[in-house]
Structure 1
Amino acid sequence: MPQFANPGVGTFTAWDYVIFALLFVISSGIGVFFAIKERKNATSRAFLVGGRQMICGPVALSLTASFMSAVTVLGAPSEVYRYGASFILFCLAFSFVIILTAELFLPVFYRSGITSTYEYLELRFNRVVRVAATMIYILQTILYTGVVVYAPALALNQVTGFNLWGSVFATGIVCTFYCTLGGLKAVVWTDAFQMVVMVLGFLTVLIQGTIKLGGSSNTWKIAKNGQRLNIFDFSVDPLRRHTFWTLTVGGTFTWLGIYGVNQSIIQRCISCKSERHAKMALYLNLLGLWVILVCAVFSGLVMYAFYVNCDPWTAGFISASDQLMPYFVMEILGHLPGLPGLFVACAFSGTLSTVAASINALATVTYEDFVKQCFPNVSDKRSTWISKGLCIVFGVACTSMAVAASSMGGIIQAALSIHGMCGGPMLGLFSLGILFPCANWIGAIGGLAVGVTLSFWPAIGGFIYPASVSKTLPLHLSTNSCLPLNISDLLSTQSPTLTPQWRDRPILADSLYSLSYLYYSALGCLGSLIAGLLISFISGSKDTAIVRPTLIRPVSNLFCFWSDKFRKMCGSGIQHGQKNSAEANKENTVSDNDLIMKISTRKELNDVYNQDSRKIPSIYIPEQCTHINFGLVKETYF
């Protein structure tokens, strides 16, 4: 392999450290502010879901920042640099995900009055299903969060000289600090601030990089000549890493497992003061996702144009592709004091927002699904302290997981796919409960087990037996203009070191184990859904008459052209025949009464009404029922 002279890049200056430190100071300050402001409203409800009084603007920014972590800031540009701009097709996937979340999943969760997403599973099935799903979520989130903290710290350390463990522990301590002090409101407003920092960091890189290349037209021309603009590959081969179908279909399943049913996202949505605000937050968040994705894709194209004749990865100047972005930043911004610090703040803003969202969500599900069930009569003051204590516990756990991630080696890449592996079966489980009233708890547990098996099997197999080179080979990368250490090296170039291939590969290595990682979620979701339905029918379908109307959106009711007979056959639990007025009123009364038993206790209902004397928007009840609101419920029943 030829040896090239590394031109070297700059390191952090005092101004860079100042800019970076300001990010942590401001984030901590937001936590202190909300701790002081909300000290008189010390309840677990206010701490964990912001008293359900959040508005759509900051929640939208928080939703975007929550999963646009440093993995996105560093990994997405590198992906575009090596494989081309087809990554932009995630815009379509994001659109489908937000529409489905806002119109299908959110109404069910919001109108159910839940705090923990997994509380829904107990209401719909039973406690066994709830506990199983909660345990999977806790393990998934701790593992993913640890990797999110460690991976960018490692990449930045090896390129910028930024202290590895200093950044890891600083991230964990600051996130735990402002989550513990300020609760969800601190997390949401800090995420909003960090989202702004992320965009500023990207814009700084884009502007300076474009100037260095002599304008955007030149950048576009180089990217086109390097085949980086060949976006549409309509191959239906599921083993291909990125095609139109893997990015749109597989990407939709993967991100729907996050946005549709993940506690971190749903918790922010149900913290809004009305369902309308929650939906607006989701649709505004879609704009934020598009902005971040476009910035990441264009950063990758600018980076490719800059290194078109001397790829630092192939030349060996960096040891991993994730280090491309920070290496590029230090090269073009290293002479400008403070700007490298702004980009590092951009990368760590993504990390802070993800870690904070995870800590707050973990504290919420643990309190609601375990503590509250064991100690139902705990006082408001004590519940708040318990919630804060859980934030500290999970903050330590996530930071410790980052330490453990340092010894995982190649497992880090597998851990970054954890959302697809766990999110798919979870998506299938929730879809089973919401869309099919006939599904029972046995089908739910069985379907979840099948879904987890189907998603983990190819993922673990793919890690042990990597896909063949032809499926993962990046586009052409050149070192023609790199300065060689030896004259004889001038005539030869070497491709980046590729994943080694095993000699003794099992039969499934070139089929199931080579499946695109974006299909893990789809496989788990469909497996969980189909197996859940089959097991439910075999074990005896649930009596749909006892399923509360707010907990379902029957698939047989989603399409108006389906006949009444077919709807009944699907077990929608809804009588579509005409009834006289007396029967209809009687049925509505029963449904409403059953509904308010779920909404809350009399005391909680009165508390909510007294906090907001306006007519709270009506609560959804299926077609055959009336719409009611809190004002009428209070007047009628209390």
Structure 2
Amino acid sequence: MLSGPTFNVWDYVVFTLMLVISAGIGVYYAFAGRGQSSSADFLVGGRSMTAVPVALSLTASFMSAITVLGTPVEVYQYGAIFILICFSYALMVAVSSEIFLPIFYRLGITSTYEYLEMRYNKVIRLFGTVLFIIQTVLYTGLVIYAPALALNQVTGVDLWGAVMSTGIVCTLYCTLGGLKAVVWTDVFQVGIILAGLLAVIIQSVLLQGGISTIISDSSQGGRLNLWDFDPNPLRRHTFWSITVGGTFLWTSVYGINQAQVQRYVSCKSLFHAKMALYINLVCLWAISICSVFCGLCLYSIYKNCDPWTAKKVSAQDQLMPYLVLDILSEYPGLPGLFVAAAYSGTLSTVSSSVNALAAVTITDLMRPYLSLSERQLSWASKGMSVFYGAVCIGMAGLASLMGGMLQAAISIVGVVGGPLLGLFSLGILFPCANTKGGLAGLLSGLVLSLWVCIGAQIYPPQPENSRPLPLMTHGCNFSMAPDGTNWTANMDNLTMKEENQQRPFLADNWYSLSYLYFGPLGTVTVIAVGLIISILSGGRQMKLQPGLTLSKEDLTCYKIYNVLKEKVSGRSGKLDLVQELEKSFGKTNFAFCEVELSTQTLP
């Protein structure tokens, strides 16, 4: 807890108002949707959503408190090279919208893991569902813990009381209002996240005398290290690890993760679903640029006195709350706005996760095995939301044992998401893939990813691979380091010398693999092993049902070509290109039909 400024009344008012509005949206949709009693209404919003709110919801779900608190610290310690993640976002959106979205949307499925049974068998479907539940619960626990830590740091409010309040508010509006409440709450929370980041940026620029000063300080401190093309996969962050590794990582989130897929399959047409992804891309860029620039502001202000090295904060993840109180405490309400931003990211991510966990449990674990009416399934969906809300709160305890938020979160996503991405890619892109190949590939990818991830936790990479930048203390008002030595560098050197004496060979040649490559490692392993086993076990003689693999008709470029061809020939009349594309993609979601899809029935 800080010894300086803390929250005042207006900060509490702003923060509480955000929580009340979020909960109020859930209450509104609970009453507005009283006549809708089916599980589809609760889990996928009746499949009637439009592009803009879904796009903002996708952004809010993705931009958790990990982004608000973790990304600026990443830039502060390792430099602005992380901004290259914007390239991977663009590649991820293109791949997700062109390869995965058409398949899931055409099949009209509620859970992405329904596809695994259609393409492989029930065993692999259950395997995928269980892996998703484990991954999501672990990740959500970390996301709940992060802003609770921030609130504890800036206000002194009990840490676990903050954890409980986060989980309870999320569970409340998710249980009451279903997906529609989650989506519209996310729309509100995106605005709060941007406002909180912009408040920090504007005040920092004013204090430092302009953007040019911040850029100059960052350049002199080595923080503008944008173009590092070193191909060494052991290096923590390079152009290749961030763009290539990031593309695989975030495609496993947007392409196949239930929490994200559940949103765009709720759109009323395939055109709206694709547009939601591309609008979301612009929002991702905006928030990423803001969070990276916040990191440069953090460095510019504390370039001569690092609060973490000077023991003014107990963990680096507390640097942003420390900065906020330091520069915004004279403006009542603004510190509360920033903490509301961190909490908004958490509320949106946790509510998305709880809704997705309820969806896969109902669709994959209950509906196939229990004879329940739609009304009973609807009540079961709400019950599962309450259950998973409680589980995620409990898992926040484990999050307190993890390291830096950003790397811990990405490692969790990559280790499980990578192999699952490989399993879906194998089925969608390779018609010869069969059940034996899929299962063998999935197990191989999981084993390899877990091996390197666990090894990296036991033997953290050496500083020459992670390359933390200098953090200085010569400008601090204390006497423990009068010569202005770089404590961080000294600590790193001591750590390196100590570990060199006892580290095994694999520690510096395998376990030091960049955490951004955990996902690609699992994906490539699943596809390679899956193809080999499938071919050896007769996969080329398989006859698949139509619609389970990608075809040229699914690609936007092919549709644009056909539309332009018709316009040139004069057969398309006076409709503009957008109208023609919407007509080509179809105006209604196949899943609007009254008959539920079974695993044996295709559109």
Note the C-alpha offset of 1:23.
Answer: 1.0
Q: Does 2:544 correspond to 1:551?
A: no
1:525 match: 523
Note the C-alpha offset of 1:539.
Answer: 1.7
Q: Distance in 2 between matches of 1:434 and 1:477?
A: 48
Q: Within 5 Å, which residues of 2 pair with 1:501-580?
A: 502=499, 503-541=501-539, 543-545=541-543, 547-553=544-550
1:386 match: 380
Percent identity for Structure 1 against Structure 2: 53
Q: Distance in 2 between matches of 1:319 and 1:554?
A: 54
Q: Does 2:458 correspond to 1:461?
A: no
Note the C-alpha offset of 1:225.
Answer: 1.4
Q: Contact conserved, 1:31 with 1:179, CA < 8 A, in 2?
A: yes
Match of 2:389 among 392, 395, 400: 395
Note the C-alpha offset of 1:156.
Answer: 3.6
2:436 match: 442
Structure 1 counterpart SS, 2:237: coil
Q: Distance in 2 between matches of 1:207 and 1:453?
A: 47
Q: Does 2:415 correspond to 1:421?
A: yes
Give the 3 Å change call, closer, same or farther, for CA 285–602 of structure 1 in structure 2: closer
1:94 match: 89
Q: Distance in 2 between matches of 1:149 and 1:400?
A: 10
Q: Distance in 2 between matches of 1:605 and 1:409?
A: 43
Q: Distance in 2 between matches of 1:409 and 1:440?
A: 38
Give the 3 Å change call, closer, same or farther, for CA 145–213 of structure 1 in structure 2: same
1:286 match: 281
Q: Contact conserved, 1:65 with 1:191, CA < 8 A, in 2?
A: yes
1:494 match: 487
Note the C-alpha offset of 1:9.
Answer: 3.3
Q: Contact conserved, 1:432 with 1:444, CA < 8 A, in 2?
A: yes
Q: Contact conserved, 1:330 with 1:340, CA < 8 A, in 2?
A: yes
Note the C-alpha offset of 1:477.
Answer: 1.6
Match of 1:303 among 288, 298, 303: 298
1:37 match: 32
Q: Which has the higher contact order (CA 8 A, sep 6+)?
A: 2
Q: Within 5 Å, which residues of 2 pair with 1:66-465?
A: 66-375=61-370, 377-406=371-400, 408-410=401-403, 414=408, 416-465=410-459
Q: Contact conserved, 2:453 with 2:518, CA < 8 A, in 1?
A: yes
- Report Cα offsets for 1:221-253 as digits up to 9, x if no partner: 111111211200000010111000001001111
Q: Distance in 2 between matches of 1:458 and 1:281?
A: 35
Note the C-alpha offset of 1:410.
Answer: 4.4
Q: Distance in 1 between matches of 2:189 and 2:31?
A: 21
- Report Cα offsets for 1:128-175 as digits up to 9, x if no partner: 110000000001101110111113322442344233112100110001
Output the TM-score relative to the length of structure 1.
Answer: 0.84
Give the 3 Å change call, closer, same or farther, for CA 24–107 of structure 1 in structure 2: same
Q: Distance in 1 between matches of 2:28 and 2:209?
A: 45
- Report Cα offsets for 1:437-475 as digits up to 9, x if no partner: 111111111110011111111111011011112112311
Q: Contact conserved, 1:436 with 1:555, CA < 8 A, in 2?
A: no
Q: Quick check: which has more Rg, 1 or 2?
A: 1
Q: Contact conserved, 1:434 with 1:554, CA < 8 A, in 2?
A: no
Match of 1:473 among 467, 470, 495: 467
Note the C-alpha offset of 1:64.
Answer: 0.5
- Report Cα offsets for 1:417-440 as digits up to 9, x if no partner: 110100000000000000011111
Which runs of 5 or more structure 1 residues have no equivalent in the other structure? 1-5, 561-597, 607-620, 622-629, 631-638
Give the 3 Å change call, closer, same or farther, for CA 171–601 of structure 1 in structure 2: closer
Q: Which letter maps to 1:550?
A: G
Q: Distance in 2 between matches of 1:469 and 1:600?
A: 52
Q: Contact conserved, 2:308 with 2:319, CA < 8 A, in 1?
A: yes
**Larger deviation, residues 159-168 vs 418-427:** 159-168
Note the C-alpha offset of 1:599.
Answer: 6.6
Note the C-alpha offset of 1:543.
Answer: 3.9
**Larger deviation, residues 302-311 vs 47-56:** 302-311
Structure 1 counterpart SS, 2:29: helix
Q: Distance in 1 between matches of 2:595 and 2:75?
A: 51
RMSD: 2.4
Q: Does 2:66 correspond to 1:59?
A: no
Note the C-alpha offset of 1:415.
Answer: 5.6
Q: Contact conserved, 2:88 with 2:244, CA < 8 A, in 1?
A: yes
Which runs of 5 or more structure 2 residues have no equivalent in the other structure? 558-588
- Report Cα offsets for 1:584-606 as digits up to 9, x if no partner: xxxxxxxxxxxxxx977984289
Q: Distance in 1 between matches of 2:223 and 2:112?
A: 41
- Report Cα offsets for 1:83-128 as digits up to 9, x if no partner: 1111110010000000000111100000011100000000111111
Q: Contact conserved, 1:442 with 1:536, CA < 8 A, in 2?
A: yes
Q: Contact conserved, 2:410 with 2:515, CA < 8 A, in 1?
A: no
Q: Which letter maps to 1:467?
A: P
Note the C-alpha offset of 1:317.
Answer: 1.1
Note the C-alpha offset of 1:544.
Answer: 3.9
Q: Contact conserved, 1:160 with 1:330, CA < 8 A, in 2?
A: no
**Larger deviation, residues 136-145 vs 492-501:** 492-501
Q: Distance in 2 between matches of 1:405 and 1:224?
A: 34
**Larger deviation, residues 219-228 vs 521-530:** 219-228
Q: Distance in 2 between matches of 1:274 and 1:472?
A: 45
Note the C-alpha offset of 1:558.
Answer: 8.6
Give the 3 Å change call, closer, same or farther, for CA 177–600 of structure 1 in structure 2: closer
